[in-house]
A and B are shown apart, each in its own frame.
Chain A
């Protein structure tokens, strides 16, 4: 009988429009895994660009890909002043999203999440969770799968490098590959291993698989570009030039590789835009320019536009830059490809 409910909180459940923040009072926070990979560093840079546009500063947080550390940082953040707090978060894994959402809801902070969300959690059930943005992993997995099939002439053996096994992204993308394999019955999946989204591990795994399957390997499907680049290094070391490689993310090195012709295809995901857009949505709602209730149901959880990049169109993507117009309050959902099914 010595316990009682938390006295903390301080949040105003729902009703964000009642207390619109002055633009200069808004606190912007961007959180990604780490600043030591180009994609996530560019995400935070995009957030900085948006903040600068608004005359604010973004607090850059990183958690080393450590789920508990992410939760700990969020908890600590939400224990501070949360009145006009806007968070653009990349949850480490699906399971990390819900506690962040609940925390933000309770504390009254404005939250946008990207990439990871359990499918049975509904954004519309929360008033502070403004939006969830992701790319269609099944689609991208399938797109590069198809591109790979085409590159090897429609038939032959391929190997697949999976991402971190317990992430939604890895699973969706692999599901996309399986769909692609169904559509291309001549293509045979020789082997699939995980390389944990890591360039280094992909190198070792690919080398082993190349010796195992030898000349049967005509193509390599990688769940992200880092692993694709690791696979490219392995191919070069094995003296193989006849193997097509595809990945996802459109990191600068992959684009270069596509330009050089060593890599076949990748799928864009626009880091700087992602870093800015989440803050922009939150900013718009916080300052009252946008009301949660007015956000269309299909814009609460949506797939962002992505492009298959091949040698044909790679030139269009080689210099990614943020476009201020994307972040205007009436334009924040312009890249939507529809609600997450």
Chain B
């Protein structure tokens, strides 16, 4: 294959060479990639104007600490969304995992954290396998998963909360890094960073994007489509497990419905971050910013004194506006 290839006739074509510019992102593209952060800052500014007390160090610390489970849930599910699927089971799996955690802690002690994360990851993997082997849309698999996990959680917990008596195992989650950063948030950011880094440094990122944009092309290029998808579901499940540990340690108990209401906020966080719900385009960092926006909306609006009915109306309007701002439409041809 060392033979020189091709006659360079094309060099004589006019204008083609002259018109070439440097590649890489343009200024506009750079700005769009920062949009989630801009949205976050804008929201924070608005809340501060509504109530100047909101912008205190303690208040912000509380907000990021609050956001940790949502960040982790959204980050995991982002992988599935990037692959072009969706995981509706994260919240139910997270609830189930809080029950696991509370049930197993007395026997396993500190090891429980790892065991719960592994168990949740395994359950996620089973969903992934069902999706790729049976060729059922991820929406349906995880919708089914959602109700099955809820039922299992109800049954094994006897439909009630289970107290976490031994708090030592999760005490470290309530510490602060450098005095101000809550450990749980630190862990959440660490998860985002590690997963993002692994994606970035290995071919995985291009696999995930190729699958998300065009699964058939990815498959015919010989990329490990099924493996990557199952891995995405596994990580999504494991993240639900980690979020469960955070919630259980925060609430000192596990309960079969504890995280059920986090499903829509988590998906909202992904979309608000600007990740395309159709797959391919997006990142975990975006979901981190999105989760912070959603958390600020959930806690900020009532705290600064917006009445209940208006809070809902504002919440609806602001998340739509946020997505209008963050979504990079040059990457998504058709908005469905």
Q: Please list the residues of chain A having a beta carbon within 8 angstroms of any beta carbon in chain B.
A: 2-8, 10, 34-35, 59-62, 64-69, 71-73, 75-81, 93-96, 98-99, 102, 118, 120, 164-166, 168, 171
The A-contacting residues of B in range 228-262, CB under 8 angstroms, are 247, 250-259, 261-262
Interface string of B292-335 (1 = CB under 8 A from A): 00010011101101011101000000000000000000000000
Stretch from B10-18, B82-90, B174-182 that touches the partner:
B174-182
Contact call B308/A35, Cβ cutoff below 8 A = yes
Contacting residue for A73 out of B59, B172, B303, CB 8 A: B303
Task: State the Cβ distance, A62 to closest chain B Cβ, in Å.
Answer: 4
Q: Chain B binding site: helix, strand, loop or mixed by DSSP?
A: helix
Q: In the complex, A31→B174 CA distance in Å?
A: 25
Is the CB–CB distance between A4 and B175 below 8 Å? yes
CA distance A164 to B253 in the complex (A): 18
A81 engages B53 (CB within 8 Å): yes
Contact A5 B175 (CB under 8 A): yes
Please indicate which of the listed interface residues B172, B253, B256 has the most CB atoms of chain A within 10 Å of its own CB.
B253
Q: Which residues of B contact A (CB under 8 A)?
A: 53, 56, 58-59, 61-63, 65-66, 69, 154, 157, 159-161, 163, 172, 174-180, 183, 247, 250-259, 261-262, 295, 298-300, 302-303, 305, 307-309, 311
22 pairs, CB–CB < 8 Å, chain A vs chain B:
A6-B175, A7-B176, A62-B308, A67-B258, A68-B247, A69-B298, A71-B66, A75-B62, A76-B63, A76-B299, A78-B62, A80-B59, A81-B53, A98-B251, A98-B252, A118-B161, A118-B163, A164-B257, A166-B157, A166-B159, A166-B257, A171-B160
Assembled-state Cα–Cα distance A10/B258 (Å): 29
One of B66, B163, B253 near A72 (C-beta < 8 A): B66
A3 to B309, CA, bound (A): 41
Select which of B58, B161, B179 is within 8 A of A94 by beta carbon.
B161
Tell me which residues across on chain B come within 8 A of A6, comparing CB atoms. Answer: 174-176
Distance in angstroms between the alpha carbons of A2 and B61 in the assembled complex: 17
* From A77, A79, A99, contact of B250 by CB (8 A): A99
CB distance from B82 to the nearest CB of A (A): 25
Nearest-neighbour CB distance to chain A for B283, whole angstroms, equals 25
Q: A95 vs B102: C-alpha distance in the bound complex, in angstroms?
A: 12
Distance in Å: Cβ of B154 to nearest Cβ of chain A: 6
Across the interface, B61 reaches (CB within 8 A) one of A5, A8, A60, A81, namely A8
